[in-house]
Amino acid sequence: MAQAEPAKPDARGTTKPDLDLGKDAKAKGHAFSSPADRSVRTALPSAKTGAAAAPQAQSVAGNPTLAVGVTAYGTTAHGTEVDTTISSADTALKVTVDWGDGKTDVFDAYGSDSRTTAHVYAEVGSYKIKVTVADAANNVSAVNEVTFVTDGSDFTPYAPTRLLDTRNGTGAPMGMVQPYSSTRVKIGGNGGIPAGVTAVVLNVTVTNTSTDGHITAFPEGTERPTTSNVNYKARQTVPNLVIVPVGKNGYVEIANRGGAPVDLIADVTGYFSKTASSGYTPVAPSRFVDTREGLGTVKGQLGGRKTFSTQISGLRGVPQGISAVALNVTVTNPREAGHLSVFPGGGATPTASNLNFTAGQTIANSVIVPVGQDGKISVFNGAWAGTDVIVDVVGYYSTDSTSAFLPLSPERLVDTRDPNDPVYGKLWGQSYIYMPMSFDDPSITGFVLNSTVTNAEGDGYLTVTPDPNSMDDYINRSDVWPTPPNSSNLNWTKGATVPNLVQASTGSNGIIDLWNRGWDDVDLIVDLFGLYQQG
Name the band, by pLDDT with cuts 50, 70 and 90, for residue 62. Answer: confident
Q: Does 523 score more than 60 pLDDT?
A: yes
Question: Cα dihedral angle (435, 439, 442, 445), rounded to 10 degrees?
Answer: 0
pLDDT value of residue 46:
60
If you average pLDDT over residues 456-464, what whole number do you get?
96
The one-letter amino acid code at 155 reads F
Lowest-pLDDT choice from 27-31, 277-281, 432-436, 477-481: 27-31
Q: Does 29 score more than 70 pLDDT?
A: no
Q: Using one digit for the tens of pLDDT, what is the confidence trace for 357-390?
A: 999 999 999 999 999 999 999 999 999 999 999 9
Q: Does 51 score more than 70 pLDDT?
A: no
Name the band, by pLDDT with cuts 50, 70 and 90, for residue 288. Answer: very high
pLDDT value of residue 346:
92
Residues 6+ apart with CB under 8 A from 223: none
If you average pLDDT over residues 157-183, what whole number do you get?
97
Cα–Cα distance, 147 to 128 (Å, whole number): 4
**Under 8 Å between Cβ of 7 and 480:** yes
pLDDT value of residue 18:
74
pLDDT value of residue 284:
87
**In the β-sheet with 126-135, what is the strand arrangement from edge to edge?**
55-56, 40-43, 140-149, 126-135, 92-98, 104-110
Lowest-pLDDT choice from 378-392, 460-474, 479-493: 479-493
Residue 25 φ/ψ, nearest 5 degrees: -60, -40
Cα–Cα distance, 88 to 95 (Å, whole number): 12
Q: Using one digit for the tens of pLDDT, what is the confidence trace for 104-137?
A: 999 999 999 999 999 999 999 999 999 999 999 9
If you average pLDDT over residues 229-242, what whole number do you get?
93
pLDDT value of residue 3:
42
Report the chain's mean pLDDT, rounded to a whole number.
92
If you average pLDDT over residues 266-277, what whole number do you get?
97
pLDDT value of residue 8:
54
Q: What is the DSSP string of 137-187?
A: TTTEEEEEEEEEE-S-BEEEEEEEEEEEETTTTBSS-SSPBPTTEEEEEE-
If you average pLDDT over residues 427-450, what whole number do you get?
94
Work out the percent of the chain whose per-residue pLDDT is above 90.
87
pLDDT value of residue 37:
96
Cα–Cα distance, 410 to 530 (Å, whole number): 8
Q: Using one digit for the tens of pLDDT, what is the confidence trace for 65-85?
A: 999 999 999 999 999 999 999
Name the band, by pLDDT with cuts 50, 70 and 90, for residue 61. Answer: low
pLDDT value of residue 2:
42
Q: Does 24 score more than 60 pLDDT?
A: no
In this structure, are strands 12-13 and 432-436 parallel, antiparallel, or unpaired? Answer: parallel
Q: Using one digit for the tens of pLDDT, what is the confidence trace for 214-231?
A: 999 999 999 999 999 999
If you average pLDDT over residues 299-320, what whole number do you get?
97
pLDDT value of residue 353:
94
pLDDT value of residue 23:
54
> How wide is the angle at C-alpha 62 spanned by C-alphas 58 and 66, nearest 5°?
50
**Under 8 Å between Cβ of 379 and 341:** yes
